[in-house]
Structure 1
Amino acid sequence: MTRAYKDPTADEAVGKICKEESRLELVISIIKLVCKLGGFKIIQRISLEDKKSGRRYD
């Protein structure tokens, strides 16, 4: 959906969420790579909590 006007508040919120999701994806990729290099595999979900925001990812 495109807007005909600028909404800096919404743009900032979406930008923060995208940045946080990118950090999460990077951390998950690193964890998977370390497990693979060590000869392990993840068999259950991993729960993470962002130290800055307190947001939990289960």
Structure 2
Amino acid sequence: GVENAGLAALLLDASCHYGQGFGYAPALPAQEAEVYLNESLSDGVAPLKARSG
């Protein structure tokens, strides 16, 4: 899973444009996941959550 921006950058560098993990969002109920994905796909970017440490 993608836990932070560093891991997301590694995946992008490897031409992997899809990922999942707590760096993006916690586990979501199906209805909330659908909204999250639709919003992410509308602008082409899934937001990474700010994480300390």
Same fold flag (TM > 0.5): no
Q: Per residue, is there more strand in 1 or in 2?
A: 1
Largest Rg, 1 or 2: 1
- Ranked by relative contact order (alpha carbons within 8 Å, sequence separation 6 or more), the top structure is 2
- TM-score relative to the length of structure 2: 0.31
- TM-score relative to the length of structure 1: 0.29
Q: Per residue, is there more helix in 1 or in 2?
A: 1
